[in-house]
Structure 1
Amino acid sequence: MDTIIAPPASTSKGGQTLPLSLHINGQQHDLQVEPFVTLLDLLRERLHLTGAKKGCDHGQCGACTVIVDGKRINSCLKLAVSLDGSAVTTIEGIGTEAQLHPLQQAFIDRDAFQCGYCTPGQICSAKALLDEGHCTSRADVREWMSGNLCRCGAYSNITDAVMDVLKRGAKP
């Protein structure tokens, strides 16, 4: 039996959009987006969630790392429409100003950032790493977070922060 797909709606500029439903940081978002829009651009430009950064825009630096359905992804490489129905967590959904997430506090305590540009992606990656259960040693942290680059070179402090959370057994 053939599946019938309704034609996409048109935008005011004459382009086509597709319906998209995402659960982002605990809130439901029902959107119409062009099929070429990346998750990163949707988050930053349409939803004004600017924590995830556009670093290289080629999936090589990790500044745009977010968590989708419990897994770390480079949001610059993922088309938003391919994630219909997914749960997305950005840095804005991890902790609050009043109650920092243990990783956020550890990054502060360990001075695990300098310019801060990569920090949202680093924290999202570290949270997923801990949630995935891959982290048991400093070598694991370095290996599993090797896709997140820090131009300032704060790697040892980042590793220390992740290990602090792991050792404390804090719920990631």
Structure 2
Amino acid sequence: MRPGESLEDAAERELVEETSVPAKSLPLEQVHTYSKPGRDPRGPIITTSFLAIAPDLADARGDSDAEFAGWLSVRQVINDFNLAFDHRQIVSDALAKARDKLQYTTIATAFCRSEFTIKELREVYETVWDVKLDAPNFHRKVRETPNFVERTDNEESTNGRPAALYRSGKAEVLSRPILMPSSLRT
């Protein structure tokens, strides 16, 4: 943080500096503050992490202090990268928050086009949760959850039967949660 800067302002500034993504275009949500003594060998450092959920981001371009700027899958970051200090835990905590938000909010529709199929919506859940879901059961849950999605008059042509297209409904919070598989719950 710089003098006179709030935590949120610092997070927005860092997002722009590290990725060139306009911070005002993304809703940032605080995940956790890390302050355990010794977490950074350089001295007492406090880190507050934020989560931004958004589809179709432009290519990341780092500023002068970014050694690398790019979008990677969470799985790739957690499994393949040698992350400094407690950064693997920070990424894991952000993933847990994103997974949890899918259960109780309509955030998954933000990853879809303006009109989408239930299959495309299911693929968002499957990607974030890293599981395969039962398609008919998911379809039923989505359609039975009030104001989650609204059917449009359009259909998407496929090799088989045309798929109905939906758009995001009016709800922001799901009145009937779509719970992640018990194997992922902590």
Give the TM-score of the pair, scaled to structure 2.
Answer: 0.27
Give the number of the structure with larger relative contact order, counting CA–CA contacts within 8 Å between residues 6 or more apart: 1
Give the TM-score of the pair, scaled to structure 1.
Answer: 0.29
Larger CA Rg, structure 1 vs 2: 2
